[in-house]
């Protein structure tokens, strides 16, 4: 960029996470494909409806979200020792300290969408809770969000 006359800049990059719906990636034009500072109920609804093909890791938005968001944040919080827990219908607690074991269990059907989705709902709502609280208490933040993401106006029929 300096050769073009621009200042040297730092660029923050993150992995492309597949969308939660049929889309190939999360998209601001498809609200159900992404998570914002949604209410706990909205997060649960979106994740319950998310496409999560059993035994398929590649292109799975739920697994990618756990890998690139939950494991990453947990790793930062714990000094590199992330944990993700999920509970089976029988009450067995599955503990994952690395994404590779989680993916292996998903591919072998030890870990299913019915186990994975509720665990992600809890982990994500626990993560978003403090940020939601701060956001809701700050009128400037709400005003900026409303300007950045105006409510969709449906055309009259």
Q: Is residue 35 part of a domain?
A: no
Of 107, 81, 83, nearest to 94 (Cα)?
83
Distance CA(53)–CA(15), nearest Å, equals: 21
Strand 93-96 versus strand 84-87 pairing type: antiparallel
Instruction: Quick: pLDDT tens for 45-98.
Output: 999 999 999 999 999 999 999 999 999 999 999 999 999 999 999 999 999 999
- Of 47 and 19, the one with more pLDDT: 47
Question: Quick check: 25 pLDDT over 50?
Answer: no
Q: What CATH number does the domain containing 129 carry?
A: 1.10.240.10
Between 8 and 63, the more confident residue is 63
pLDDT at 30: 58
Asked, for residue 48, whether it belongs to a domain, the answer is no
8 pLDDT more than 80: yes
- Does residue 18 lie in a domain region? no
Quote the number of domains for the chain. 1
Question: Could you tell me if residue 9 is inside a domain?
Answer: no
What are the beta bridge partners of residue 85?
Answer: 95
Do residues 40 and 125 touch, judged by C-beta distance below 8 A? yes
C-alpha closest to that of 101 among 52, 53, 67 = 67
- The residue range of the domain holding 60 is 55-133
Residue 156 belongs to a domain: no
- Copy the structure tokens of residue 60: 């799975």
- Residue 68 maps to a domain: yes
- What was the pLDDT predicted at 5? 85
Q: Quick check: is 17 in a domain?
A: no
Mean pLDDT of all residues in 124-135:
94
Residues 96/84, Cβ–Cβ less than 8 Å: yes
């Amino acid at each position: 960029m300096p050769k073009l006359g621009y200042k040297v800049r730092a660029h923050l990059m993150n992995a492309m996470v597949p969308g939660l719906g049929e889309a190939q990636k999360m998209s601001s034009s498809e609200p159900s494909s992404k998570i914002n500072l949604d209410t706990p109920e909205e997060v649960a609804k979106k994740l319950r409806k998310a496409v999560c093909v059993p035994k398929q890791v590649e292109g799975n938005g739920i697994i990618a979200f756990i890998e690139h968001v939950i494991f990453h944040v947990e790793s930062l919080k714990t000094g590199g020792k992330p944990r993700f827990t999920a509970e089976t219908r029988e009450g067995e607690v599955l503990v994952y300290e690395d994404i590779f074991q989680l993916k292996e269990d998903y591919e072998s059907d030890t870990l299913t969408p019915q186990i994975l989705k509720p665990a992600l709902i809890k982990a994500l709502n626990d993560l978003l809770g403090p940020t939601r609280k701060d956001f809701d208490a700050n009128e400037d933040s709400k005003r900026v969000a409303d300007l950045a993401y105006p409510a969709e106006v449906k055309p009259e029929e």
